[in-house]
């Protein structure tokens, strides 16, 4: 049997040789940069308050873990349950702390950068993979939402790795890659429903490249079975909880009244915001990158008849770019930048491929100019994205902090049977762990409840979220006594939240 020291020495040598490869070494540097910048902001945002959506996920997690059982937790079908379920497991280990969920989020954010390398490498080559992952490492949407306990980074990471394994299957015919892709996209859907918007792209790709022949493949049907089996427990839970099919229940919460008209407006709205996501320079590079794929449109008949591998690659990229943004525009009744975060892997790969084609062209004329070109371009992109991320993270770090402090104060100064009147229900319920009565639209409804419910103890009004109009003047009209005030400014001149005793 081989000596242990020899085995360790061989593995050490193999690792060193791997790291000496310039592509591998560059990937290590990108990942180190990714980790360092994320740890910096992770420490910076310590203790930041939760937003509405974050608090709702935390409340579901508390419900699953049995914390504060005296509180009536409500479930929203639009909130997929895998993330709060995992958080509930961490609550059982260290209590209702945000630490482990935030660490998990950080790991997924770092993994998304690694996934970009593999996806870019599989579609093009290692250079495109490295450049794409570098762009993802400092992309401000990725950075900013790596510190919000919502599921957009979960979705992005599972989307990237699923897209990688699906394309690996198309390229090599590996059933293992197909099954891994299916597992990842199904699990990703349990984190966030819109992760599944990759699947229409996959289906359309198969229809164009294989017509209906893919229906004869056993592995496709087996992959479909895998996806379904992973979803079954969630579907059963949804029927028990909401008396209906969970996916239609969820889409019903956010679906617009007129999907076509609304979807067109949302699509245009997202396109108009592209300069804020990327900067005008990068938008121009991306558009030129799209134009460089002109052979796809001119050779569509060749793609269908002969299946040219480069045309297939371009088709795949275009589909994983367009399908998510089209489905988000049509199916969700309002626009938020994080909703289209899953299109940016394709954006960065298309842009990276074009940048390298320009670099090669310049390099033929003058190598020095080519190097200067790439350094200036990457420097500009990184400077724009990090500045944007830095401003967003720091400016939003203390947002809703007054709600958090008020909730914690109320937890310490109320009985478990007390009820608080507030128009920030999820955050207040999470921090105070008390029942919350949301301001009704009519004052008479509130006064009727007040006269019959002796547990109503505190009336909380704030500048956060919109409350019923009557609520702002009610404390003065009824001589309510303010017991605690939280301010927007350090000089205590601008009240942000006031707690009145009823």
Residues 427 and 48: beta-carbon distance below 8 Å: no
Q: What are phi and psi of 466, to 5 degrees?
A: -95, 125
Partnered with residue 459 across adjacent β-strands are 421, 500
pLDDT for the residue numbered 2: 59
Each of the 502 residues of the chain gets a pLDDT tens digit; together they read 456 677 777 778 887 888 788 999 999 999 999 999 999 999 999 999 999 999 999 999 999 998 888 888 888 888 899 999 999 999 998 888 899 999 999 999 999 999 999 999 999 999 999 999 999 999 999 999 999 999 999 999 999 999 999 999 999 999 999 999 999 999 999 999 999 999 999 999 999 999 899 999 999 999 999 999 999 999 999 999 888 888 888 877 777 878 889 889 999 999 999 999 999 999 999 999 999 999 988 887 777 777 788 999 999 999 999 999 999 999 988 889 999 999 999 999 999 999 999 999 999 989 999 999 999 999 999 999 999 999 999 999 999 999 999 999 999 999 999 999 999 999 999 999 999 999 999 999 999 999 998 899 999 999 998 889 999 999 999 999 999 999 998 888 999 999 999 9
Domain residue spans in the chain?
Answer: 20-396, 401-501
CATH class for the region spanning 401-501? alpha beta
pTM over 0.85: yes
- Share of residues in the chain with pLDDT > 70 (%): 99
Q: Please, which contacts does 230-237 make with residues 24 or more away whose CB atoms are closer than 8 Å? A: 230/183, 230/186, 230/187, 230/190, 231/186, 231/189, 231/190, 234/80, 234/81, 234/82, 234/190, 237/81
The predicted-structure confidence for 264-318, as pLDDT tens digits, reads as follows: 999 999 999 999 999 999 999 999 999 999 998 888 777 777 778 899 999 999 9
Strand ordering across the sheet containing 456-462 = 435-437, 419-421, 456-462, 495-501, 481-487
């Amino acid at each position: 049997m081989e000596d242990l020291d020899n085995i360790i020495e061989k593995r050490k040598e193999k690792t060193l040789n791997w790291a000496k490869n310039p592509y591998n070494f560059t990937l290590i540097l990108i990942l180190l940069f990714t980790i360092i910048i994320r740890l910096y902001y992770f420490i910076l945002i310590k203790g930041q308050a939760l937003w509405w959506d974050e608090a709702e996920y935390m409340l579901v997690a508390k419900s699953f873990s049995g914390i504060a059982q005296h509180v009536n937790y409500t479930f929203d079908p639009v909130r997929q349950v895998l993330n709060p379920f995992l958080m509930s497991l961490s609550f059982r280990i260290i209590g209702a702390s945000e630490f482990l969920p935030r660490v998990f989020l950080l790991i997924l954010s770092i993994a998304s950068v690694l996934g970009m390398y593999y996806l870019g490498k599989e579609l093009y080559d290692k250079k495109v993979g490295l450049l794409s992952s570098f762009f993802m490492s400092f992309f401000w949407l990725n950075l900013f939402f790596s510190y919000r306990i919502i599921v957009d980074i979960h979705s992005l990471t599972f989307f990237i790795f699923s897209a990688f394994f699906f394309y690996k299957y198309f390229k090599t015919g590996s059933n293992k890659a197909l099954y891994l892709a299916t597992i990842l996209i199904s699990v990703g859907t349990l984190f966030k429903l819109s992760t599944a918007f990759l699947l229409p792209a996959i289906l359309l790709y198969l229809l164009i490249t294989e017509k209906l022949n893919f229906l004869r493949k056993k592995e496709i049907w087996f992959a479909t079975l895998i996806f379904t089996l992973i979803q079954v427990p969630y579907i059963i839970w949804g029927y028990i909880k909401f008396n209906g099919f969970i996916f239609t229940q969820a889409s019903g919460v956010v679906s617009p009244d007129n999907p076509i008209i609304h979807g067109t407006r949302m699509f245009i709205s997202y396109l108009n915001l592209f300069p804020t996501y990327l900067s005008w320079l990068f938008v121009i590079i991306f558009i030129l990158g799209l134009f460089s794929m002109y052979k796809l449109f001119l050779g569509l008949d060749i793609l269908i008849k002969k299946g040219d591998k480069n045309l297939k690659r371009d088709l795949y990229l275009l589909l994983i770019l367009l399908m998510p943004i089209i489905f988000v525009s049509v199916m969700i009744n309002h626009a938020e930048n994080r909703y289209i975060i899953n299109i940016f892997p394709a954006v960065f790969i298309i842009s990276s491929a074009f940048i390298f084609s320009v670099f090669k062209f310049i390099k033929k004329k003058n190598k020095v100019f080519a190097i200067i070109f790439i350094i200036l371009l990457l420097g500009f992109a990184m400077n724009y994205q990090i500045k944007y991320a830095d401003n967003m993270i720091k400016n939003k770090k203390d947002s809703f902090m007054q709600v958090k402090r008020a909730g914690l104060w109320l937890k310490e100064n109320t009985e478990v049977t007390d009820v608080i009147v507030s128009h920030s229900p999820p955050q207040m319920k999470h921090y105070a762990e008390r029942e919350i009565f949301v301001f009704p639209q009519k004052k008479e409804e509130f006064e009727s409840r007040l006269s019959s419910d002796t547990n109503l103890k505190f009336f909380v009004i704030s500048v956060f979220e919109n409350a019923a109009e009557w609520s702002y003047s009610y404390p003065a009209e009824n001589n309510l006594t303010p017991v605690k005030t939280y301010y927007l400014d350090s000089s205590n001149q601008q009240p942000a939240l006031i707690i009145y005793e009823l």
